[in-house]
Amino acid sequence: MRKSIEAMSSFLIMIDIQERLLPAIHNKDEVLSNSIKLLTAARELSIPAIISEQYPKGIGPTVSELKPLIPDGSPVIDKVEFSCCANPGFGDAFLNLRFNSGTKDTAILFGIETHICVLGTAIDLQEKYNLNVIIAADSCGSRTRENHSLALEAMRSMGCLVVPTETVIYHLLGKAGTPQFKALLPLFKQQ
């Protein structure tokens, strides 16, 4: 299966970065910072996204820092299932995205928790939808470092491309010198 990361064939899935869950994540500041970068790049490059919220009535909505960065028109899927793909609303959102945005065969996943909802979604995206799955590793997190690391290892072993957020964004850009590159470059000068 092709493992390249290209803006024209990709879409984002942001998984459960919510008010009452993010504070418990061991690398929460890194997850938030890199999620901001990914969503900013998606807006700049017109890459569609699907957003999930696990039981928002109990865990709360997506964190406020991310809401204004979510690409316009992105569906927000409320779920109780751990894999996004197990939610009936996800299938409809994905088919709508494919219908309106052309061939999208690469899913870029990020969010929490790595060892539960991100891993379950990655497995289902490969098995049910036969998609290329890219994991923005430093935009994912779990309550413990060990659970995060083990899940990344598992996703790598099943054929997902597991890379840093910066790698994802630079590959989506494709080259330097473009207006999009110049717009996104400040994201990486802040490190």
Q: Are 187 and 34 in contact (CB under 8 A)?
A: no
User: For the domain with range 7-189, which CATH number is right: 3.40.50.850, 3.40.50.740, 3.40.718.10, 3.40.50.280?
Assistant: 3.40.50.850
| Residue 191 pLDDT | 56
DSSP-derived pairing of the beta strands 161-163 and 49-54: unpaired
Cα 161 to chain centroid distance, Å, stands at: 13
Cα 186 to chain centroid distance, Å, stands at: 21
Instruction: Summarize the confidence of residues 148-171 as an average pLDDT.
Output: 97
Instruction: Summarize the confidence of residues 102-126 as an average pLDDT.
Output: 95
Over pLDDT 70: what percentage of the chain?
Answer: 97
This prediction's pTM: 0.95
| Residue 85 pLDDT | 95
| Residue 2 pLDDT | 56
Q: Is the pLDDT of residue 43 over 90?
A: yes
Q: Are 173 and 45 in contact (CB under 8 A)?
A: yes
Q: How confident is the model at residue 98 (pLDDT cuts 50, 70, 90)?
A: confident
Residue-averaged pLDDT of the chain: 94
* In the chain, domain spans: 7-189
| Residue 95 pLDDT | 83
Q: Residue 133: left if φ>0, alpha if ψ -120 to 50, beta else—which one?
A: beta
Instruction: Summarize the confidence of residues 29-54 as an average pLDDT.
Output: 97
Counted residue by residue, the chain has a size of: 191
Torsional sign, CA 59, 143, 37, 104: negative
Q: Is the pLDDT of residue 87 over 60?
A: yes
Q: Is the pLDDT of residue 100 over 60?
A: yes
